[in-house]
Amino acid sequence: MAGEFDLIRDFFRDATAQRDDVVLGIGDDCALLEAPVGKQLAVSMDTLVVGRHFVTDVDPELLGHKALAVNLSDLAAMGATPAWVTLSLTLPDADAEWVKRFMVGFAALAKHYQLTLIGGDTTRGPLAITVQVHGFVDPEKSLRRDAAKIGDLIYVTGQLGDAGLALMAQQGLYVKQGCLASLKQRLDRPEPRIELGRAATTHSRCAIDLSDGLGSDLGHICEESNVGALIYLDKLPMSDAVAEYVAESGDWSLPLLAGDDYELCMTVPAQHQAAFEAAMQQQEVPVTWIGMIEQGEQVRAMSPNGDVDAYVARGYDHFAN
C-alpha cells in the first residue's frame, strides 16, 4: 500500500502536459497560474460516484478517460480551449496499481489536449472522483445555452443513441452479435468534441453537450433561451446498430432521449448556414441538421409519418424519487 504523498509524487506530478502558463504546479498549497490577457476563463466540474455512475470493478483506465472526457465535453460545449485540470480522488484504500491505471487513461487524454494537472486532493472514503477543468474562451464568442433565437437551425455532431444501446446491451436488455464492441467504446470512451466546439464559435453562439439525451438537453436550451424546438426524427444521425434497433422496435427513445453520447447540439442563425456547414465539413466528426428553433417552450419531435409529439423533457435528476 502506498501513502498519500507517494501517490502524489508518483502519479500526479508530471503526469500530464507541461504548460508555460503554469507558474507553480502540484506540490505547494496552491497552484499559481497565468491566465491569458483578454480571455475569459471557462470552468466546469463533474463528480463520478461508485454505484451511481460506474460499478466497483470498472476498468480504472477507462474511468480515468471518462472522468476527464465528460468535463472536457463541457468545455467543448462552451467553445473553450482546455488548459488546466484539478482532480479530487476519494479512494477506499491507497491502491497504487489502481491509481496508476486510472492515471494512464486520464493522462493520455490530458496530454492530447495540452492540459496540465495542476493540483487536487486525495482522501479516503467510498470511491468517488471529482474533476474540474479550466479553459479559455474569447469574450463574446462563448457558446451559451441562453443564446438560441427563433429561426435558428439546430445541428448535432456524430451519432445519437450509441451509448444508450451499449448500456442496454450491458444490462442484458439487448442481445445482438457483431456491433457491440464499437458501441461499448462509445459508452466507455466518449471523445469530447473540443476542436469542433471551437470551430463552431465562428458561426454559432449556442451549444450544449448531450449528456442526458437530446430531448432533455435541447430542452435546457429552450428553457434558457425562452424558445421552442422542432426536430425531425428521420434526420437524427444514427449508427447502423441504433438505426436497426429503431426499425425493429419502432422506438425512437435511443436517439431522442438516451444519455451519455457526449455529442454537441448547436444552434445557428439561418444567415450563417452555408458558412457554418462549410466550416463543419473540415471537422472529423459529421455534423447533421436536425430541426429548427421556433416559438414556444417545448421540444417537439416530428416522426416520419408527420405526427408531432411534444416533450417536456427533463434531465436525469439525482434527487428525484
Binding site for ligand ADP (CB under 6 A): 8, 12, 26-29, 87, 89, 117, 119-122
Q: Which of ligand ADP, Mg ion, none is residue 254 near (CB under 5 to 8 Å by kind)?
A: none
Q: What would the x/- binding string for Mg ion be over residues 126 to 165, using CB under 5 A?
A: ----------------------------------------
Burial class (CB in 10 A: 0-12, 13-18, 19+), 227: buried
Measured from the CB atom, is 118 or 206 closer to ligand ADP?
118
| Residue closer to ligand ADP, measured from CB, 79 or 119 | 119
Integer Cα distance of 87 and 124 in angstroms: 14
Closest approach, Cβ 121 to Mg ion, in A, equals 4
The grid coordinates listed for 231 are 426536430
CA torsion 280→140→80→136, rounded to 10°?
A: 150
- Please give the Cα distance from 205 to 201 (Å, whole number): 6
Q: Give the nearer residue to ligand ADP in terms of CB position, either 89 or 160.
A: 89
The angle formed by the CA atoms of residues 285, 289 and 295, to the nearest 5 degrees, is 140
Nearer to ligand ADP, 91 or 313 (CB): 91
> Between 11 and 174, whose beta carbon lies closer to Mg ion?
11
Question: Which residues inside 201-260 make contact with Mg ion, applying CB under 5 A?
Answer: none
Pairing of strands 40-49, 128-137: antiparallel
How many residues touch Mg ion under the rule CB under 5 A: the total is 1
Say if CB 210 and CB 72 are below 8 A apart: no
Q: Is 121 in the site for Mg ion (CB under 5 A)?
A: yes
